[in-house]
């Protein structure tokens, strides 16, 4: 048998790949690790994991149908990125500087137990949870 260790990668289909790459790199601080233009794929480093951005009009993206539409559902409910440090004022100031709205801090259960989280949406309507360390 085997044990799950962490999220390896997530795949987000995008109608506008560059907007998502810009958001995840400029707002959340990720870096482009690999790009395969021939199939419409950009892979971003998220700590020990990857987030793959797939152009819904590219070779890979066309396999799953029409592009995502923020008004008619998305291709993912949400995903969670464990962040450190979890300084609410600094996080809010950073998001505000990029024009990104976020919900109020919530205490939710995750892989490390209960901890504080802030939820926000990327440019294509995918919900991102930014999660701090577990709290007693």
Handedness of CA 110, 111, 114, 118 (dihedral sign): negative
Q: Which two tokens stand for residue 2?
A: 């085997």
Is position 71 within any domain? Answer: no
Residues 54 and 80 in one domain: no
For residues 59 and 80, membership in a common domain is answered with no
Q: What is the pLDDT of residue 44?
A: 95
Cis omega (within 30 of 0) on the bond before 85?
Answer: yes
The DSSP bridge pattern shows strands 127-134 and 78-82 to be: parallel
> How many domains would you assign to the chain?
2
31-36/41-46 β-pairing: antiparallel
- Determine the Cα–Cα distance for residues 42 and 39; give it in Å rounded to an integer: 9
Same domain, 41 and 99: no
Question: Regarding predicted confidence, which is higher, 69 or 5?
Answer: 5
Q: Report the predicted TM-score, pTM, of the whole model to 2 decimal places.
A: 0.79
Q: Domain boundary residue among 21, 41, 63?
A: 63
Residue 22 in any domain: the answer is yes
Residue 80 domain boundaries: 76-136
My answer on whether 124 and 89 are in the same domain is yes
Examine residue 53 and state whether it is found in any structural domain, yes or no.
yes
Residue 65 φ/ψ region, left for φ over 0, alpha for ψ in the -120 to 50 degree band, beta for the rest: left
Say yes or no: 38 and 82 in one domain. Answer: no
In a domain? residue 23: yes
- Report the 10 Å Cβ neighbour count for 51: 25
What CATH number corresponds to the domain at position 86?
Answer: 3.10.180.10
- Both 58 and 99 in one domain: the answer is no
- pLDDT grade for 72, boundaries at 50, 70 and 90: confident
pLDDT at site 60: 80
């Amino acid at each position: 048998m085997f044990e799950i260790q962490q999220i390896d990668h997530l795949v987000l289909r995008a109608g506008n790949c560059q907007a998502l790459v810009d958001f995840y790199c400029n707002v959340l601080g990720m870096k482009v690790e690999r790009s395969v233009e021939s199939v419409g794929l950009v892979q971003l480093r998220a700590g020990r994991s990857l987030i793959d951005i797939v152009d819904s009009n590219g070779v890979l993206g066309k396999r799953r149908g029409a592009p995502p539409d923020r008004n008619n559902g998305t291709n993912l409910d949400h995903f969670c990125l464990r962040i450190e440090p979890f300084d609410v004022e600094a996080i809010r100031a950073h998001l505000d500087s990029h024009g990104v709205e976020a919900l109020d801090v919530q205490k939710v259960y995750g892989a490390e137990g209960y901890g504080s989280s802030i939820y926000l949406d990327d440019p294509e309507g995918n919900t991102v949870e930014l999660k701090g360390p577990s709290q007693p």
